[in-house]
């Protein structure tokens, strides 16, 4: 099974690859999962959100670094200087299509 992991969500509106199955919206927050592969070295892997396969991918918006500390691992999240996923234009949510 999977060991240590946590999720990160970006609370901006991004276009989804499909309608949200719960709300019908085409805009959503971006998400990603952080899987800690080795807790002693803080080695990790980033994957898409586990909760919703159509959710925008936060790996296109954020960078993540880690370093060992005396208490475990310290993670630093920063926005990419030039993200490949762009915030929706003219949508403050909820939006159902690109015309809203």
Number of neighbours of residue 71 by Cβ within 10 angstroms: 6
Share of the chain above pLDDT 70, in %: 86
Regarding predicted confidence, which is higher, 12 or 59?
A: 59
- Residue 40 CA neighbour count, 13 Å, CB half: 0
> Taking the chain, what is the end-to-end CA distance rounded to the nearest angstrom?
42
pLDDT tens-digit profile of 52-84? 778 899 999 999 999 999 989 999 999 999 999
pTM above 0.85? Answer: no
- Write down the pLDDT at residue 12: 86
Q: Does residue 99 surpass a pLDDT of 60?
A: no
- Write down the pLDDT at residue 3: 76
Regarding predicted confidence, which is higher, 20 or 41?
A: 41
- Going by pLDDT thresholds of 50, 70 and 90, the confidence category of residue 2 is low
Residues facing residue 63 across a β-bridge:
78
- Among 95, 82, 97, 81, CA closest to 12: 95
């Amino acid at each position: 099974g999977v060991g240590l992991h946590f999720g990160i969500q970006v609370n901006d509106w991004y276009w989804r690859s499909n309608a949200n199955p719960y709300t019908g919206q085409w805009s959503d927050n971006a998400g990603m999962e952080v899987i800690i592969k080795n807790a002693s070295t803080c080695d990790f892997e980033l994957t898409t959100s586990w909760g919703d396969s159509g959710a925008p991918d936060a790996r296109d918006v954020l960078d993540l670094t880690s370093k060992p500390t005396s208490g475990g691992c310290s993670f630093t999240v920063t926005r990419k200087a030039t993200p490949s996923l762009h915030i929706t234009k003219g949508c403050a949510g909820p939006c159902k299509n690109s015309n809203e």
